[in-house]
Structure 1
């Protein structure tokens, strides 16, 4: 939820050229680390939620990722990092949203694994497969929300990720993807998704898990 402004600016500075690549679905063959193969192996649609347990003063922060079902080596991913660091940002002001696209390997370089409980690094992820997915719909949803402000409980990193997932695959009903409003990201990633349909158990997301 709350991340550094400088990091958000570094992300958003290269959004425009990446969006073109995302729409075209251009991607080089992925080199998938052995410990991460389960995230990129199966065919079809796939959504993943990444957790930074130390984010937002311990409430947690999440990033999202969706896979192109027509080119399973291509992903788009992003997050909303609350650029102002306050509980509320009015629409039109920077909210720290960013997006990127590429292979699973590129995603791992972008979403840094946590080697020792560091804020701003991700420590776990969990995924769900879908029968299909609309990458363009996910991207349009991101575009519609990137300037719509921020609210710590109802318009944040988690609620925006849920909205992107639902547009990507309408089959992700509330039973598969509960609403994230007024729910701390750490609780949603754990207890809430544990009771939801179709979600895999959390995978460790650490430098050690990236070794072959």
Structure 2
């Protein structure tokens, strides 16, 4: 029996190492994978320096289909709002090419932040877009930030219930983008 003890011990150690390697290399279970993604784009010089916000949401179940849009910017016409669908490259490309007429600058949107969510319903998000748009633009109670947050919170019940995502009323888009989203766990800002 002693003759087999060492090889069996080495085999047990080898199998344990292989199992540990497989546990580390194995993909995460499907339940843990994020199903939705929301991104806020910001034009820091917009609205006389308080910023301008726009939105993008990933269509759940699609590999690369996004809904994106804006509300209330003369640089990103029409002022009354717009919404489009396309790939992430098209969404990001759209925001990248908006010219800043107010400051005679080739770039209006300069940054974006995203967050993954386990849920996401683009139909509800689009319904909220239409609801906010139908109320008409109001600087304090129905602006670009309200629109973006309504879309995000319509899209995801998780985002809607996140108490860190405070009301957009009387919030400045630049501050919301930089401070509120950061405290709410959104990814660091990326360059458009």
Pick the TM interval, shorter chain.
Answer: 0.7 to 0.9
After TM superposition, the structure 1 = structure 2 runs for residues 99-178 of structure 1, keeping only pairs within 5 Å, are 99-112=83-96, 118=105, 121-172=108-159, 173-178=161-166
Conserved? CA contact 1:44–1:131, under 8 Å: yes
Q: Going by fraction, where is helix more abundant, 1 or 2? A: 2
* Equivalence map 1:188-199=2 (5 Å): 188-196=176-184, 198-199=185-186
C-alpha RMSD of the superposition: 2.3
> Take 2:98 and 2:150, find their aligned partners in 1: how far apart are those partners?
26
Instruction: Give the Cα–Cα distance (whole angstroms) in 2 for the partners of residues 68 and 164 of structure 1.
Output: 13
Distance 1:176-1:73 versus aligned 2 partners, 3 A rule: farther
Q: Which has the higher contact order (CA 8 A, sep 6+)?
A: 1
Greater than 6 Å deviation, 4+ residue runs: 114-117
Q: Quick one: structure 1 residues 105 and 96, their matched pair in 2 at CA, closer, same or farther if it must change by over 3 Å?
A: same
CA distance in 1, matches of 2:172, 2:182: 15
In structure 2, the CA distance between the partners of 1:185 and 1:97, relative to structure 1 (3 Å rule), is same
The match for 1:44 is: 35
Unaligned residue ranges in structure 1 (runs of 5+): 1-41, 84-93, 206-212
TM normalised by structure 2 equals 0.72
Unaligned residue ranges in structure 2 (runs of 5+): 1-32
The reply on whether 1:54 has 2:45 as its aligned counterpart is yes
CA distance in 2, matches of 1:152, 1:179: 14
- 1:183 matched residue in structure 2: 171
